[in-house]
Amino acid sequence: MKRGKGQLDLSFGMIFSIFLIIVFLAFAFYVIKSFLTINEGAQVGSFVNDLQNDIDKAWKGFQSSEQVTYDVPNAVEKVCVVNLAGKGSGGNTGLFDEFDRFSSDPSDNLFFYPFGDLQIKEAKLKNINLASITSNENPYCFSAANGKVSIKIVKDRNSQDNLVNLER
């Protein structure tokens, strides 16, 4: 009789240990996912800040034409400049409707696609010639690959409005 009870206690202890291991692993995966989400948010915030700084530098200058490569989260496929006051046109017209529906602020003009779990999904860039950038394509998208997106920042000295254009 004692022998059977001991085996039952040992088996309950083993089951309880396995249960605790599963709980600890689940918690560890949750914490890791949280850190990755925070990292992606910081990366998007850093991208927007760096891009705005480069735009401001060109805007304050006399003339500029610089190709710059930025880091974005690997989940981002496209970074798009969108004129929500206009209408969708060009090859990304379907994305225009999605950005328009999603936007919480009509003055936002920079969007990340797909939205996914990104904490920052849209932003507002200042000192850009939005009408010129989106004149043929609205939204005007830059493809991202392997966590990198390349944007050409251009300011023409003959420009009447003194604003910066973004090009592929």
Q: What is the pLDDT of residues 42-86, one digit of tens each?
A: 788 899 999 999 999 999 888 888 999 999 988 899 999 999 988
Cα–Cα distance between 91 and 123 in angstroms, integer?
A: 22
Tokens 């040992």 identify what position?
Answer: 10
What is the reported pTM? 0.76
Cα–Cα distance between 61 and 120 in angstroms, integer?
A: 29
β-pairing verdict for 140-145 and 122-123 = unpaired
